[in-house]
């Protein structure tokens, strides 16, 4: 077969038709199942967003509780299997999440989006709790998913403002086109394998610093810079040393990632409620400096803030430790992974690309 590898990152290669989300990189737009992300993140619950992804429609008035109950049931079921999983033995939250999720079995009830989405929240929270020296906290069925996630980490129900900020984040990151972890989940689903295996593969892909592993390093960067007037000098030195600026650039967007603005707005609401991590002004200065320096270095390739940049600032303000950032990304994104698994299975088509042999002739 005579094929030529022209895009080893598969950029621009369409591998699926999807009804789930559209990423418009030129205009900086994200549409989730027919709804702009700006509207969704402004007040849609995580439960409603999950239902939108899993069924194609936001819940009708009066039917709001269905997904909430299913998620609560998923959390309870996962917690019942937690002790054996022992997330605390892992230093890294994504390692723990991958290992604990891998212990589940689809034929033990973990074959639905709600069961898996519930489980990821329980395991991510248990890891954060245990690493902080506590014991895992059982889920509370009466709470919404976002608030219960924070409660399972902290041991007490969060204030409405902090729960709302986290919920805006989870909604914002729940789905985003054919990103690397979603593709990984779809590849596994396409083989006819089970949903647990697909989600475990996706967690592994999300761990990487070029995908979901960036927000922790973004906060490290802000700490290293310290003051807004140091931003330009610091960024220049990083670029001169050949290092990447975390939280900047994107495979698809040629303008600022729309999710950065959505999260910045959520941060503003949080500040109005009197909750702040104290880093928003610094983050804005670093973003300006990084955008300018990257424009000077790559005049033909627009590199602007991506979702991870303000994820770091928002989750820090919500009160999460930086090691919990990537697992928390998974808590939101798992809703999208599950929807893509359903969509991929419905096609019945195995994903199996080709490679070009460049080794010695036989
Ligand atoms: N800092 C410095 N340089 C960057 C950069 C960044 N954040 N992002 C891209 N570049 C550089 C690349 O190194 C490349 O330079 P080169 O041609 O000299 O090698 C050039 O810009 C073009 O990169 P491009 O091919 O458009 O990037 P990509 O599509 O392969 O990468 C990312 C996209 C997200 C992996 C990349 O922008 C990145 O590593 N960002 C930092 C990590 C991050 O924030 N990840 C979260 C993504 S949501």
pLDDT in tens, 75-114: 999 999 997 657 889 999 999 999 999 999 999 999 999 9
Predicted local distance difference test score (pLDDT) of residue 3: 54
Mean of pLDDT over the chain: 94
* Centre of ligand 1 from the C-alpha of residue 325, in Å: 20
Residue nearest to atom 4 of ligand 1 (CA): 244
Confidence of residue 60 (pLDDT cuts 50, 70, 90): confident
**Ligand 1 atom nearest to CA at 248:** 7
Distance 249 CA to ligand 1 centre (A): 5
Q: Is the distance from CB of 147 to CB of 157 less than 8 angstroms?
A: yes
CA 276 / ligand 1 centre spacing (Å)? 29
Cα 227 to averaged position of ligand 1 atoms, centre (Å): 25
Query: Is residue 146 within 8 Å of 120, Cβ to Cβ?
Result: no
> Nearest residue CA, atom 3 of ligand 1?
244
Instruction: Kindly list the strands in the beta sheet with 21-24, ordered across the sheet, starting from the edge strand earlier in the chain.
Output: 21-24, 29-32, 35-36
* Whether pLDDT at 68 is above 80: yes
Which residue's alpha carbon is nearest to atom 25 within ligand 1? Answer: 251
| pLDDT, position 86 | 78
Shortest-distance atom of ligand 1 to CA 247: 44
The residue contributing the CA closest to ligand 1 atom 12 is 244
Which residue's C-alpha comes closest to atom 24 of ligand 1?
251
Could you read off the pLDDT of 293-315 as tens digits, one per residue?
999 999 999 999 999 999 999 99
Give the residue-averaged pLDDT of 265-291: 93
pTM of the model: 0.94
The predicted pLDDT at position 21 comes to 98
Please classify residue 157 by burial: count the beta carbons closer than 10 Å to its beta carbon, then call 0-12 exposed, 13-18 middle and 19+ buried: middle
Contacts by 285-289, CB closer than 8 A, 24 or more apart: 285/228, 285/229, 285/231, 286/221, 286/222, 286/225, 286/228, 286/231, 286/234, 286/235, 287/248, 288/231, 289/231, 289/232, 289/234, 289/235
Q: What is the mean pLDDT of residues 128-140?
A: 95
Nearest to 20 by CA among 64, 55, 59, 67: 55
Closest-lying ligand 1 atom to the alpha carbon of residue 249: 37
> In this structure, what token pair is assigned to residue 248?
């900047």
Active site residues: 250, 308
What confidence category does residue 8 fall into, taking pLDDT thresholds of 50, 70 and 90?
Answer: confident
CB 267 within 8 A of CB 280: yes
Closest Cα to atom 19 of ligand 1 = 242
Ligand 1 site, CB within 6 A:
9, 210, 214, 244-251, 298, 301, 303, 306-308
CA 250 to ligand 1 centroid distance, Å: 6
pLDDT tens per residue across span 222-231: 999 999 999 9
Q: Ligand 1 center to residue 234 CA distance, Å? A: 18
The per-residue pLDDT for 115 is 98
Using alpha carbons, select from 120, 130, 162, 152 the residue that is nearest to residue 332: 120
Q: How far is the CA of 254 from the centre of ligand 1 (A)?
A: 12
Percent of the chain whose predicted confidence (pLDDT) is above 70: 97
First-to-last C-alpha distance (Å) of the chain? 16
Residue 213 — very low, low, confident or very high, per pLDDT cuts 50/70/90?
Answer: confident
Nearest CA to ligand 1 atom 11: 244
Amino acid 5: pLDDT:
60
Provide the pLDDT for residue 2. 53
- Tell me which of 222, 237, 244, 290 to substitute to probe ligand 1's pocket, judged by most ligand atoms within 8 Å of the beta carbon: 244
Best residue among 180, 249, 291, 293 to mutate for probing ligand 1's pocket (most ligand atoms within 8 Å of CB) is 249
């Amino acid at each position: 077969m005579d094929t030529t590898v022209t895009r080893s990152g598969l950029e621009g290669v369409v591998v699926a038709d999807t009804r789930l989300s559209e990423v418009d990189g030129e205009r900086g737009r994200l549409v989730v199942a027919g709804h702009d992300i700006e509207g969704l993140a402004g007040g849609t619950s995580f439960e409603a967003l999950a239902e939108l992804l899993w069924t194609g429609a936001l819940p009708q008035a009066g039917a709001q509780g269905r997904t909430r109950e299913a998620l609560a049931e998923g959390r309870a079921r996962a917690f019942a299997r937690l002790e054996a999983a022992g997330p605390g033995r892992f230093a890294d939250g994504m390692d723990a999440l991958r290992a604990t999720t891998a212990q589940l079995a689809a034929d033990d009830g973990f074959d639905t989006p709600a069961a898996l989405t519930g489980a990821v929240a329980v395991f991510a929270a248990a890891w954060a709790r245990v690493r902080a020296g506590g014991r895992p906290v059982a889920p509370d069925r009466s709470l919404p998913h976002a608030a219960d996630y924070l409660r399972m980490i902290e041991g007490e129900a969060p204030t409405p403002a902090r729960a709302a900020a986290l919920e805006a984040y989870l909604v914002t990151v729940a789905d985003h086109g054919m990103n690397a972890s979603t593709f990984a989940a779809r590849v596994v689903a396409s083989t006819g394998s089970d949903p647990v295996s697909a989600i475990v593969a996706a967690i592994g892909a999300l761990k990487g610093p070029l995908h979901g592993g960036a927000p922790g390093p973004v906060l490290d960067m802000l700490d290293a810079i310290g003051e807004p007037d140091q931003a330009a000098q610091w960024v220049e030195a990083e670029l001169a040393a050949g290092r990447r600026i975390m939280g900047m650039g994107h495979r698809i967007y040629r303008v600022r990632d729309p999710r950065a603005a959505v999260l910045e707005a959520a941060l503003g609401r949080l500040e109005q409620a009197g909750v702040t991590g104290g880093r928003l002004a610094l983050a804005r200065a670093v973003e300006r400096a990084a955008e300018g320096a990257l424009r000077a270095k790559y005049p033909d390739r627009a590199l602007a803030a991506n979702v991870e940049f303000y994820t770091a600032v928002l989750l820090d303000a919500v009160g999460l430790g930086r090691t919990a950032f990537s697992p928390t990304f998974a808590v939101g994104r798992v809703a999208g992974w599950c929807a893509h698994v359903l969509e991929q299975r419905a096609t019945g088509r195995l994903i199996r690309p080709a490679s070009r042999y460049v080794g010695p002739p036989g």
